[in-house]
């Protein structure tokens, strides 16, 4: 880290914008709203602000660390971590690692910094992190391998059986991504873990390792879980199950009140365009409309941001929608008119959301068992002015 002449306002802008852009990218990277061009524009702007931070030397570090002291948020820790790793400064890295231990989401901030750091700058740290006994450092080492798609070799077996659930979960995910069938037995033991995220990681990894049948029971149980774990379990169950069986399985979940919303939200994964009339009717039900909108975005490869078929104000859809907190909501009549007019893919540029890229990456990996899972989250650089 060097002391260089800087303009305080410009350094402040670089640090604030880098934190904000990384936070937005993190929020959108698996979502349905942005596509790879949108993410590419964010990446191009993020890279420009990171370069400005690197060039600002000590001033950038002081501002980044001061902002972290004020907010103690993953985005501010990201800025600290990326500076420390870029400069290879051990003292600064220790400060960033202390921050990762101190706040919720700290690991996510440091993991983001690692993703933005070149391999050669990570090489001095990752082997030591993996071979040490500090679970946080082992998790970050596994994050580095995952982000940069590097196989840890013989280390992986021990990491999959670590005494720390966070380490095990990350190692299990990496085993699936890198198609490490030699540790499938160790991965399978995690299907009985106490932590539901570890069980989900194990079930998904087994599907990628060609052992989907052994994962079905675990996925079925997790599918009854609320939130992101249940939704991810349903997605993987549908992707890893032959289509006729998957349709039957999903119908059973649609018939159960406890899983109806999650199942409806995932129905677009099956790609059955014939369900559109049925799906539009679900949009008229305030309790089902949001899930039906999620399904629509998965089902049709169109950028709905360029249409008027979604509403961000639930009350605009009528009194019965006023208390709905989730949005945007599909406007059933407009969706129906849009569909009946034949405004399908043949008249619009094909759009794949980041979620669709994720689903397609898993589909391809489940078909071809010899290659690593494609990294749909990889950095994409599209000029921001395009």
Say what the pLDDT of residue 3 is. Answer: 57
Please tell me the distance from the alpha carbon of residue 83 to that of residue 66, in angstroms, as a whole number.
14
pLDDT mean across residues, the chain: 94
- Asked which of 222, 256, 286 is the last residue of a domain, the reply is 222
Q: Are residues 210 and 314 in the same domain?
A: no
Q: What is the average pLDDT across 153-168?
A: 97
Is 384 inside any structural domain? no
Q: Are residues 210 and 297 in the same domain?
A: no
Q: Are residues 123 and 160 in the same domain?
A: yes
- Number of domains composing the chain: 3
Helical ranges in 161-223 per DSSP H: 165-177, 184-189, 196-208, 212-222
Q: Are residues 61 and 102 in the same domain?
A: yes
Q: Are residues 59 and 134 in the same domain?
A: no
pLDDT digits (tens, 9 = 90+) for 124-152: 999 999 999 999 999 999 999 999 999 99
Is 235 inside any structural domain? no
Q: Are residues 113 and 178 in the same domain?
A: no
Q: Are residues 102 and 132 in the same domain?
A: no
Q: Are residues 46 and 84 in the same domain?
A: yes
Q: Are residues 112 and 133 in the same domain?
A: no
Q: Are residues 128 and 93 in the same domain?
A: no
DSSP β-bridge partners for residue 175:
none
pLDDT above 90 as % of the chain: 89
Is 229 inside any structural domain? no
| Dihedral sign from CA coordinates of 245, 246, 250, 251 | negative
Is 376 inside any structural domain? no
User: Cα dist. 293→40, 267, 280, 289, 311 in Å?
Assistant: 25, 11, 9, 6, 10
Q: Which range of residues forms the domain containing residue 312?
A: 247-371
Is 242 inside any structural domain? no
pTM over 0.85: yes
Is 386 inside any structural domain? no
Say what the pLDDT of residue 380 is. Answer: 81
Q: Are residues 55 and 128 in the same domain?
A: no
Is 377 inside any structural domain? no
Say what the pLDDT of residue 379 is. Answer: 87
- Asked which of 64, 99, 117 is the last residue of a domain, the reply is 117
pLDDT digits (tens, 9 = 90+) for 8-31: 899 999 999 999 999 999 999 999
- Asked which of 117, 143, 162 is the last residue of a domain, the reply is 117
Q: Is 354 helix (H, G, I), strand (E, B) or coil?
A: helix
Is 64 inside any structural domain? yes
Q: Are residues 167 and 218 in the same domain?
A: yes
């Amino acid at each position: 880290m060097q002391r260089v002449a800087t303009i305080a306002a410009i350094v402040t802008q670089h640090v604030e914008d880098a934190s904000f852009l990384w936070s937005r990218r993190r929020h959108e990277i698996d979502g349905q709203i942005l596509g790879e061009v949108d993410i590419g524009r964010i990446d191009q702007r993020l890279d420009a602000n990171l370069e400005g931070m690197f060039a600002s030397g000590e001033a950038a570090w002081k501002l980044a660390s001061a902002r972290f002291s004020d907010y103690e948020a993953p985005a501010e820790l990201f800025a600290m971590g990326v500076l420390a790793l870029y400069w290879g400064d051990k003292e600064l890295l220790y400060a960033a690692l202390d921050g990762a231990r101190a706040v919720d989401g700290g690991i996510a901030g440091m993991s983001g910094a690692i993703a933005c750091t070149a391999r050669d700058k990570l090489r001095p740290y990752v082997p030591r992190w993996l071979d040490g006994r500090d679970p946080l450092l082992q998790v970050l080492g596994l994050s580095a391998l995952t982000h940069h798609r590097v196989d840890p070799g013989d280390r992986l077996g021990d990491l999959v059986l670590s005494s720390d659930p966070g380490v095990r979960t990350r190692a299990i995910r990496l085993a699936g991504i890198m198609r490490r069938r030699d540790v499938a037995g160790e991965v399978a033991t995690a299907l009985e873990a106490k932590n539901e995220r570890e069980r989900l990681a194990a079930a998904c990894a087994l599907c990628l390792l060609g052992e989907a049948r052994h994962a079905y029971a675990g996925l079925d149980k997790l599918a009854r879980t609320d939130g992101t774990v249940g939704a991810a379990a349903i997605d993987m169950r549908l992707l890893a199950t032959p289509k006729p069986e998957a349709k039957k399985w999903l119908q059973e979940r649609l018939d159960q009140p406890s899983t109806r919303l999650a199942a409806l939200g995932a129905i677009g994964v099956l790609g059955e365009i014939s369900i559109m009339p049925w799906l539009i009717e679900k949009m008229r039900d305030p309790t089902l409309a949001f899930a039906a909108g999620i399904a629509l975005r998965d089902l049709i490869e169109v950028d709905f941001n360029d249409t008027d078929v979604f509403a961000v104000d639930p009350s605009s859809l009528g009194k019965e929608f006023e208390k709905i907190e989730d949005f945007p909501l599909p406007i059933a009549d407009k969706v129906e008119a849009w569909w009946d007019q034949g405004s399908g893919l043949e008249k619009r540029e094909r759009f794949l959301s980041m979620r669709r890229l994720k689903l397609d990456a898993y589909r391809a990996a489940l078909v071809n068992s010899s290659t690593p899972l494609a990294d749909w989250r990889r950095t994409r650089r599209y000029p921001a002015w395009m």
